[in-house]
Amino acid sequence: MSDAFVKVGSLNDFPAGSMKKVQVHDKDVLVANLSGQIYAMGDSCTHRHCSLSEGTIEGTTVICPCHEGRFDLTTGKVIASPPKSDEPTYEVKLQGSDVLIKER
């Protein structure tokens, strides 16, 4: 596993309560700002590969736009089916106002 971090934007790109899909090399990653804390996890739903960043946030939960599967944004864990597999999570680091994600 790599120790390198990749810049995916600045804090201004991720307003509180929002989520956005970014690319970390060849991977789609969902970045969410929950009350000023930045989290990152896989963006492709483990059920039918819909883009989770097109869904909605309720508290710390992202709801898939296709079949309403639910994942915990802080851990990547499945909260409600149909997905059965958790999402991978990514380490996030802030450097000044830059948002950095650790490569996998």
Q: State pLDDT tens for residues 12-30.
A: 999 999 999 999 989 999 9
Using alpha carbons, select from 101, 37, 104, 32 the residue that is nearest to residue 63. Answer: 32
User: Rounded to whole angstroms, how far apart are CA atoms 69 and 103?
Assistant: 26
**Token digits of residue 29:** 């990653």
pTM (2 d.p.): 0.93
CATH number of 38's domain: 2.102.10.10
- Domain extent, residue 77, equals 5-102
Chain CA centroid to CA 70, Å: 13
Phi, psi of 13 (to 5 degrees): -75, -15
The mean per-residue pLDDT over the stretch 71-78 comes to: 97
Q: How many domains does the chain have?
A: 1
